Copies of this chain bind each other. A is one copy, B any other.
Amino acid sequence: MTYSEENYLKVIYHLSIGNTKGITTNAIANEMDSKPSSVTDMVKKLAEKDLVIYKKYQGVSLTDKGRQHAVMIVRKHRLWEVFLVEKLDFSWDEVHDVAEQLEHIKSEKLTDKLDEFLDFPTEDPHGDPIPDREGKIAKVEKQLLSETELHQKVICVGVKDSSASFLQYLDKQQIALGSSIEIVSREHFDQSLTLKVNDRQLSVSYKIAANLFVKTV
């Protein structure tokens, strides 16, 4: 399995979540900053290897085998992110690019020993679940802050967008995983929100709220 094949599998996996139909070549190309024609070529190769199901003009979907491979890459990616934050003092906005490289290291023993070394974490630094060595992913109920009712007390448990710029914004506003949040008011005009974060008052745009996962306490 090449580096490139793994990246395609992972992208198809992520696009598949909450999507019953086939993933379009356009969507994949868009996600990978490549061209639809390149995707068509690669998708044929993956179909040849029984990693995806592909019928012309119908989009693509993962086989069980393909999903299993993809999940293992995600497992490695998130374990390495935990390692970087917990052991090497990286901040949560610095880990993604390095994990993009580390996720391709091939050694089941390494992955499992790393998991053990980190004390079998269930979530990565962005609140995303870490598949176990069988590929099982623990379901956690969480919702977007933007879909949370007024005055409901919640705790921040994850981010939808984990780009460096969003994460740095959250740092600046002192919002982190574990922060307690309550929506104090909604502005009708632009959907912006006034929050109480760990008893501090704070105003955020709709877009911010639409990228924060929370759970009710």
Residues of A at under 8 Å CB distance from B?
84, 87-90, 94, 97-98, 101-102, 104-107, 109-110, 113-114, 117
C-alpha spacing A87/B90, complex, angstroms: 18
Residues from chain B with a CB closer than 8 A to the CB of A88 are 110, 113-114, 117
C-alpha spacing A6/B42, complex, angstroms: 26
Q: Would you give the shortest CB distance from A129 to chain B, in whole angstroms?
A: 23
State whether B84 touches A117 (Cβ < 8 A).
no
If A87-B117, A97-B107, A98-B107 are given as contacts, then 4 extra A-B residue pairs at C-beta distance below 8 Å, sorted by A number, are A88-B114, A88-B117, A101-B107, A102-B105
C-alpha spacing A106/B104, complex, angstroms: 13
Copies per assembly: 2
State whether A90 touches B105 (Cβ < 8 A).
no
Residues from chain B with a CB closer than 8 A to the CB of A101 are 104-107
State whether A94 touches B109 (Cβ < 8 A).
yes
State whether B110 touches A84 (Cβ < 8 A).
yes
C-alpha spacing A107/B81, complex, angstroms: 14
Residues from chain B with a CB closer than 8 A to the CB of A97 are 107
Q: Which 8 A-B pairs have the closest CB atoms?
A: A88-B113, A98-B107, A101-B105, A98-B110, A88-B117, A87-B117, A102-B105, A88-B114
- 8 A-B contacts (beta carbon < 8 Å): A88-B113, A90-B109, A94-B109, A97-B107, A98-B105, A98-B107, A98-B110, A101-B107
State whether A90 touches B113 (Cβ < 8 A).
yes
Residue from the set A88, A90, A104, A114 with the largest chain B CB neighbour count within 10 Å: A88
C-alpha spacing A104/B101, complex, angstroms: 9
